[in-house]
Structure 1
Amino acid sequence: MLERYEIETFLTLAEELHFGRTAERLRVTTGRISHVVRKLERRIGAPLFERTSRVVRLTPIGARLAEELRPLVAGIEDAVQRAVDAGRGLAGELRVAYVGESTAPVLLRAVALFTERHPDCVVHVHEAPLATTRSSLRDGSIDVLIASYPFDGMANGPALLHERRVLAVAADHPLAGAESVSLEVLADHPVVQYPAVTSAAFKRDRTPDRTPSGRPVPQGPAGTSFSEMLALVAMGRGVLPVGEQTRHYHARPDLAYVPIRDAPPISRGPVWLASNTTTRVREFVRAAVDANPAPEA
C-alpha cells in the first residue's frame, strides 16, 4: 500500500517533470524526491520516469499509474473537504426539533438567526414526540432538541426559558379552586406518569416518588404523550405538575391549573448528543442563546 507522501511525491513529479520544482513545491530536497521515486519503482518493479540530464518524462507504466491515481486522490480530498465544511457548519444540513408548543417560539427564533448567519446550511424543523426524543438524538435523526431539563445522558446548552410550575387537575377536582398548593399535596392524590422511556432524572423532577417531607406519592396511570396525560387528568385519574405555559397552550374547560408555591421553576433549552458536538451544533446553540433573551430563574 502506498503512503500518502509517496503518492503526493509521484503525482507532483508527474505534473512538474522536474526534480527541482517538485522539491520546491513539497519543501524537501531533490535527494528526498529521488529516494521516494526509487523506492516506488522498486515496489512496482518497473521504471516510472525516464531521466536524463536534460529531461524527465513518464514511462507508459508511470503515465498509466498517474492517470489512475489522480481521480482517486481528488475524490479523497473532496470527501475530506466536505467533512470539514460540515464540521464547521459552512454547509450541509441541520435537524432541529422541539418538545411541546411552548418551546416552538424559542426554536424558531434560533433557526431564524442561525439561517441568517449560515445561509448555506439547510435547517429542518420537526416536533419531536415525547416518547422518541432520546432515541432520535441517539440515532442522528435529530441534531439539536429544545426540551425540558433535566435531560440526563446528553449535552445540555444554557437554559433559554424558565417557567413556574402549576398543578394540572380536573375542573371539578377539590383543588381546582385553590389559590395555590404545596408539593405536599402530591401525597394525597395519584400523579399521572410520563411514558416509560422518559429518563429517570426527568421523572424524579416532574413526578417525584416522595414529597419534600418524605411522604410517598401514589402513582397514577401513564400516558404515551403529553396530550394523553392531560386527558387522564381531565378524566379525574390523577393530577400532574406542569409548566405554567401549559395553561396557554392547553387551555381546556375540563382542566384547571393551580400554582405550586414551593416548587422550583422548570428550565428548557438545547439538548444534543455529546458525540455529535460539531461546529454546526455549537453555532446553532450560540444562535439560540443570542436570539432569546436571558431568562430570569
Structure 2
Amino acid sequence: MLERHEIQVFLTLAEELHFGRAGERLRVTTGSVSQTIKKLERLIGAPLFERTSRRVALTSIGRTLADDLAPLVAGMDQAVRRAIDAGRGVAGELNVGFLSAIAGQLLLKAVSEFAARHPDCEVHIHEAQGHDAVARLRDGSVDILITDVLIAAHPDLSAGPVLLSEPRMLAVAAGHALASRDSVSPEVLADHPVILVPTDMPEAFQADRNPSHTPAGRPVPRGPRAASFTETLTLVAAGRGVFPVGENVARFYPRPDIAYLPMYGDAPPIQWAPIWLTTNFTERVRAFVQAAREAPLIG
C-alpha cells in the first residue's frame, strides 16, 4: 500500500514536472523525491514518469494514477479539516493576504466584518507580492488571498465571489501622444509596446495584461519586462510602453508623470476576489469568504 508521504511526493511531481521544484515545495532534497518515485515505480511495476535531460512528463499510467489519487487526497484533507473545524468552530487563527492597494482595501472591509462576527478568531494580515502569492497559499503561510481573480488560474486554487469589478484603463506617460485623449480603444495596443508582467505570473494573467493580439486581431508589440507593479509604472512614465490597469490604480497610484485613460469597447473589467488553496477550505476560510462577500462596498 502507498504511504501518505509517497502519494504527496508523487502528486507534487505530477503538478510541477520538475524534480527540483517538487523538492522545494515539499522541503526535501531532489534526491529524496527521486528515490520515492523509483520506489513507487517498483511497486507499480511500470514507469510513472518519462525523464530526459530536458523534461519530465507523466506516462499514461502515471497520468491515470494522478487523476485517480488527486480527488481522493483532496477529499481526505477536507474531511479532516471539517472535523477539526467542527470541534473548534470559527476560532483560532486565520492568515489573510492581499495583492495590490485596492485588494488591501477590500481585505480591510472583509476583516472588519469577519472580526465582528467571529471575535474568537484572530486574523493576521499579510501583504503578498506577485512572485510569492501562490507559493504562500500552498505552503500555508496565507490561508486566503484577495487579488486579481486571474491569479487563481491554477488547478489547485479556488476563487470566491467577485468583490469588485472595475473598468479597465490604460496607463501612458504624461507626455505620450495618447495622453491628451479622453479615452482609448483596446485597438491602440497594436500601435504601442505593452510592458510585460513577470514570467512567474499565471498564464491567464499574462495573457490578459499582455495580449498577443487586439480584439480585431492586430498583433500587440511587446515592451520591456517589469519585475513589479511599481517598476511597471516607472517604465510607463519613462515612455518605454503602455500598460492596462483597473480604474482604482489612478486613485491609489497617482503620478504626475502618468496619465490614466479609460478604455472602451471590448475592454473587459478587472475583477478582484478571494482565492485559496482548494484543499484548505476550512470553516474559517468559508466564514471569511462569506464576510468578504457581505461586507460594505469600498467607497
Query: 1:232 is matched with which residue?
Result: 235
Provide the rounded CA distance (Å) in 2 between the counterparts of 1:82 and 1:201: 31
For structure 2, the 5+ residue unaligned runs are 1-79
Aligned to 1:135: 135
Distance 1:86 1:176, change over 3 A: farther
Aligned residues: 216
The one-letter code sitting in structure 2 at the alignment partner of 1:145 is L
Tell me the CA shift for residue 91 of structure 1.
2.0
Q: 1:82 to 1:91 in 2, by over 3 A?
A: farther
2:123 is aligned to 123
Residue from 255, 259, 275 that aligns with 1:271: 275
Residue 149 of structure 2 contacts residue 274 of structure 2 at CA under 8 Å; is this kept in 1?
no
1:125-204 equivalence runs, <5 A: 125-150=125-150, 151-153=152-154, 154-204=157-207
* Mapping 1:51-70, distance limit 5 Å: none
2 CA distance for matches of 1:237 and 1:96? Answer: 35
User: What are the superposed Cα offsets for residues 103-131 of structure 1, whole Å, 9 maximum, x if unpaired?
Assistant: 22211111111112211211001111122
CA distance in structure 2 between the partners assigned to 1:116 and 1:122 by the alignment? 11
Q: Structure 1, unaligned stretches of length 5 or more? A: 1-79
Give the C-alpha shift of residue 88 in structure 1: 5.6
2: distance between equivalents of 1:196 and 1:260? 25
Q: Whole-Å Cα distance in 1 between the matches of residues 230 and 120 of structure 2?
A: 37
Which amino acid counterpart does residue 267 of structure 1 have in structure 2? Q
Cα 1:87–1:247, aligned 2, differ >3 Å: closer, same or farther?
Answer: farther
Secondary structure of 2:181's match?
A: coil
Within 5 A, what are the aligned runs for 1:233-252?
Answer: 233-252=236-255
In structure 2, relative to structure 1, the CA distance for the partners of 1:86 and 1:127 (3 Å cut) is: farther
Please point out which of 281, 288, 291 is paired with 1:287.
Answer: 291
SS at match of 1:130: coil
Q: Is the 8 A contact 1:88 1:278 kept in 2?
A: no
Letter in 1 for 2:268: P
Identical aligned pairs, as a percentage?
53
TM (norm. structure 2) is 0.68
Could you say what the CA RMSD is over the residues aligned between the two structures, in angstroms? 2.1
After TM superposition, the structure 1 stretch with the greater mean CA deviation from structure 2, 112-121 or 194-203, is: 112-121
Query: What CA deviation, in whole Å up to 9, does each residue of 1:222-260 have, x standing for no partner?
Result: 111111110010011100000011111111110001111
The offset of 1:82, in angstroms, is 11
In the alignment, what sits opposite 1:68? none
Structure 1 equivalent of residue 103 of structure 2: 103
**Alpha-carbon shift at residue 219 of structure 1 (Å):** 1.1
